[in-house]
Chain A
Amino acid sequence: MDGFPILSLLTFLPVLGMIIILFLPKEQSNTIKYTTLVITSLQVVFAVILLGNYNYGAGGIFEQSSFQFIEKFRWIEITGISWIGTVKVDYFMGVDGISVPMVLLTAIISFIATLSSWNIKSQLKGYFALFLLLDTGMMGVFVSLDFFLFYIFWELMLLPMYFLIGIWGGPRKEYAAIKFFIYTLFGSIFILLVMIGLYFSATETIASGERVFTFNMLALMDQTNYSPDGILSPFNPENMRLVAYIALFVGFAIKIPMFPFHTWLPDAHVEAPTPISVILAGVLLKMGTYGILRISYPMFPDITRDLMWYIALFGMVNIIYGALVALAQKDFKKLIAYSSISHMGYVLLGMASLSTTGIAGAVFQMFNHGTITAMLFLIVGVIYDRTHTRGINDFGGLANQMPVYTGFVTVAFFAAIGLPSLSGFVSEALVFVGAFGQESIRVLTMISTLGILLGAAYMLWTLQRIFFGTLPEKWNKLLDIDKREYAMFIPLTIIIIFLGIYPSAMLDIMNTSVNTLVDYVAVSFQNMQLSGF
């Protein structure tokens, strides 16, 4: 695979598709749909090829040599005059064990979401063009190793998402779309500010031997690169690292979304069309936690360590709060949205443990939540397409009317609850084991386990209300799922069951990297303590 730019291909393939679609005439709706399908399935193929060639033994995280499929060349280079020196930005992509699961997830979810978009009726051309642009943004975030590049991709997603919710969404789409836009932009300005702050705090040696300021994430992780007077340098006694960490954390937390920044999510989910909900829950939310693991942790090991209790606290709040609110929902989609908030809490809790088990559980949970919640939203979509209502109390006894559908629903629900032998169980178990092992957050972990109980409660209650009991007269003619819907559900079901039985398939990918990350955070923390900072 040497020299083959597979990451760029994965990232920019959708842009290619977008350009093709823009040149297709408006009337050829089928061609547009199939182009998108071909592009996203090619993306899956490339992601699988990537996985096939992936070396499980290389750790990544902080050293360039153990990253894989690296593409690095100078993108911007402005030769300096006296006062500021050379400015350079690299086009730097690479993957390690934390990003590969996310790349896989993005490819799979995009493919499934394309299938789910088949029912979109109006303005197909615009829809699929924006959809593919969104795809590029997501993939780019997960493979970028340069902060500047990362930020560009991060922001690139905002606009397509705004339009996708705003044009093809439900009745309150305008409100939901602008709320999403403003919340996430609010978050990303903090990321931008920290990015500039980091830029001025660390330097990197370039080929000419000159030391220049850098956006390179790996260089920013290395404490030895920091200059003594940088505002975010650990060697500066008056540094603003704590403030910067919190700002960065808020930026990412809005995307997760972490309580109390979560209020955009239910609105966005309820109003978004099904495929966009799938993308939102399946991939977009993961970018927040991914960002924390990729940027906050290795660049601020000292602060991470100081604040881990708070991160766990917010994780706990997310779990309990999300579950409690979900319990009170009467709208099926809103219920799934709040369950999603609850499940992202597990990721936060696992990350806060700073142990290999916990973080591996967190990354695994990110992947599992992506597949399971995507499936849940598809389930809502299927029933909404047929009945145009999402009220849980409008249903009952669907099990007899739609048996196959009910089967898939049961799998997804039980996976969400965390039933053993389904994927959700493994990751949640790992999270709890990891978090429990960390003495300082043990109490929080114990409270968080309540979340499982609550989760089981709202899921089973919903299952009972919708699928058991008596079938209302008006739903007598409901059809069971069709071939296209089979094609959406089957891959996800297979993944959920397969990873439940054989979790190592995924855990092995991330193992080395997670170990490296944990070690790296611990060692840098010690180094900083030894040197007196």
Chain B
Amino acid sequence: MDASLLTENLSYILPEIVISAALIIIVLFDLIFHNDKRIIPYLAVAGLAVAGFFIIDQFSFEGSAFATSSSANNFGMITVDNFGSFFKLFVVCVSILIVFFSFSSEEIQKTFDRLGEYYALIFGMILGMIILVSASDLILIYLALELLSLSSYVLAGFTKLRDRNSEASLKYLIFGGVSSGLMLFGISIIYGMTGTTNLYLINPLLQAPNLNLITVSFAMILIFTGIGYKISSAPFHFWTPDVYEGAPIVITAFLSVASKAAGFALLIRLIKTTFVTFTSPDGYWQLINAFDWQALLIIISIFTMTLGNFTALWQNNLKRMLAYSSIAHAGYLLLGLVVMSDQGLTAILIYFVFYALMNLGAFYIIMLIANKTGSEEIDDYTGLGSAAPFLGVSLAIFLVSLTGLPPTAGFIGKLYIFIALVDAKMIAVAIIALLNTVVSLYYYVRVLKHMYLQKSDSPKDAILPSTGQILFILILLVPTLLFGVYFTPIVTFAKNSISLLGF
């Protein structure tokens, strides 16, 4: 690879380079200036902002970099397209929010002298995610997934203050190790059949006659294991409740939003570049007959959301409840993919934006309350409505939005999913999903019931958030309400972000 080609290739991965550089700077800064750890978060934000700038710069730009000599049609390992840029921007925005999130987290502040490690690992996750969403080569995909997982394992057990913290970390590691091993096996089978790891090259090879379809299906199910684990879809969800409950709340929030988004982006890219021949004018994808993704995803998504919702009903720990709720949301999101159309893809992107707002908001308030009361048990929320009026009302709005009632953003997200389903004439699936919404109402409202309807026996101390914390909540709260009644910008943005390179 000569210098000019390298420079050109590097210009495609500027955001990734910035994130890596920021990671190195944080590590070095932490080593050199022991006493100025306070500055590290600002370094992190600055790095993310610069990366965000380059990502925005990449919008409406398409290209492929790092082609190997065997890839005749010039599709490389990294693909730059609007779809990838959308998710990169999403990850970076969520990460910026997470940095501010960490400011208010007492769990993280208690480990102040390890702040450098903390941010280094966070950046490891970010790097893994933004490479994952734009990778179009199985080796790179696996590597990015490992980078993401490895950082997450450590972060899940980062504070080590509680036993369940380490337990969460260990459980995460074991489940993660098994699923990534299975995924690697799937990848090797695909390589054995096609002789390439590039998704764009696998596509035509899968259309070849005399292909052993059972082997392809087998490999795909194995690969899906790795992805299903990341998006915590059933039956690969077993780690989720324990890890979400045990990990620091900041990390739980990060895992439930960004990590899930990266997993979805990977799944979508994998299906679309590997299995779609062309997109028909009405937006439906024509799939190669090699593997019936639709059947698999319908079963998985219905199973996932029903299981998530029904198990959430019995939870008494709010973090654990939100873990199951996030499993259920993964099910709703999969519905957008089930329809195999651009319509459904748009719905997924819209849903993710809203899901990030309301889920981060809910976790943030739970964290503020836990900072004060030291508990995430729903029973301890009794009477909180009057002790913390602002936090109570905000949490109520976020939970209502998670249920999907108008006029909140959550409703619009769900509406687009259902619109995609009805358009694809999958009425039965839509009805199951809607009934699931009714079930979910019960456990979300249970929190409201404890906060407002029940009187606590002992008077609660008032919880007064600081101005900065109020501001942070408002940043999430105002869009949650605003996008509920005026969602044009998000939908337009999502519609412009569904184009994948080559399709």
Residues of A within 8 A of B (CB): 75-84, 87, 123, 151-152, 155-156, 158-159, 162-163, 166-167, 173-174, 177-178, 181-182, 185-186, 189-190, 192-193, 196-197, 199-200, 231, 240
Q: Which residues of B contact A156 (CB under 8 A)?
A: 406-407
Contact check, B418 vs A192: say whether CB atoms are below 8 A apart. yes
Does B492 have its Cβ within 8 Å of any Cβ on chain A? yes
Q: Which residues of B contact A158 (CB under 8 A)?
A: 405
Contact check, A185 vs B441: say whether CB atoms are below 8 A apart. yes
Among A83, A123, A190, the most chain B Cβ lie within 10 Å of the Cβ of: A83
Which secondary structure dominates where chain A touches chain B? helix
Assembly CA distance A50 to B449 (angstroms): 40
Q: Which residues of B contact A167 (CB under 8 A)?
A: 452-453
Q: Which of B86-94, B222-230, B360-368, B432-440 contacts A (4 or more CB under 8 A)?
A: B432-440
Contact check, B495 vs A78: say whether CB atoms are below 8 A apart. yes
Contact check, B407 vs A78: say whether CB atoms are below 8 A apart. no
Assembly CA distance A196 to B438 (angstroms): 18
Known: A151-B406, A174-B449, A182-B438. 6 other contacts (CB 8 A): A76-B487, A83-B341, A163-B453, A177-B449, A193-B422, A240-B427
**Chain B minimum-CB-distance residue to A177:** B453
Contact check, B434 vs A173: say whether CB atoms are below 8 A apart. no
Does B454 have its Cβ within 8 Å of any Cβ on chain A? yes
For residue A170, give the distance in angstroms from its CB to the closest CB of chain B.
12
Contact check, A182 vs B442: say whether CB atoms are below 8 A apart. yes
Q: Which residues of B contact A76 (CB under 8 A)?
A: 486-488
Assembly CA distance A227 to B150 (angstroms): 53
| 4 closest residue pairs by CB, A with B | A83-B283, A189-B434, A166-B453, A152-B406
Q: Which residues of B contact A77 (CB under 8 A)?
A: 488
How big is chain B's contact interface, by range?
Answer: 35 or more
Contact check, A193 vs B418: say whether CB atoms are below 8 A apart. yes
Q: Which B448-503 residues have C-beta < 8 A from chain A?
A: 448-449, 452-454, 485-488, 491-492, 495-496
Residues of B within 8 A of A (CB): 281-283, 341-343, 386, 400, 405-407, 411, 415, 418-419, 422-423, 425, 427, 430-431, 434-435, 437-438, 441-442, 445, 448-449, 452-454, 485-488, 491-492, 495-496
Assembly CA distance A199 to B416 (angstroms): 12
Assembly CA distance A79 to B485 (angstroms): 17
Sampled A-B contacts (20; CB under 8 Å): A76-B486, A83-B281, A83-B342, A83-B343, A123-B386, A155-B406, A163-B452, A167-B452, A167-B453, A177-B453, A182-B441, A182-B442, A189-B434, A189-B435, A193-B422, A193-B430, A196-B415, A196-B418, A199-B419, A200-B422
Assembly CA distance A163 to B386 (angstroms): 14
Cross-chain contact of A186 among B282, B386, B438, B487 (Cβ < 8 A): B438
Q: Known contacts A78-B488, A78-B492, A155-B405; is A189 also within 8 Å of B454 by CB?
A: no
Q: Which residues of B contact A80 (CB under 8 A)?
A: 495
For residue A203, give the distance in angstroms from its CB to the closest CB of chain B.
14
Assembly CA distance A42 to B405 (angstroms): 29
Assembly CA distance A87 to B431 (angstroms): 23
Assembly CA distance A77 to B438 (angstroms): 29
Assembly CA distance A197 to B281 (angstroms): 21
For residue A127, give the distance in angstroms from its CB to the closest CB of chain B.
12
Cross-chain contact of B283 among A84, A87, A185, A231 (Cβ < 8 A): A84
Contact check, A185 vs B488: say whether CB atoms are below 8 A apart. no
Q: Which residues of A contact B442 (CB under 8 A)?
A: 178, 182
Q: Known contacts A123-B386, A182-B442, A192-B418; is A84 also within 8 Å of B343 by CB?
A: yes
**Chain A minimum-CB-distance residue to B437:** A189
Cross-chain contact of B425 among A151, A189, A231 (Cβ < 8 A): A231
Q: Which residues of B contact A152 (CB under 8 A)?
A: 406-407, 485
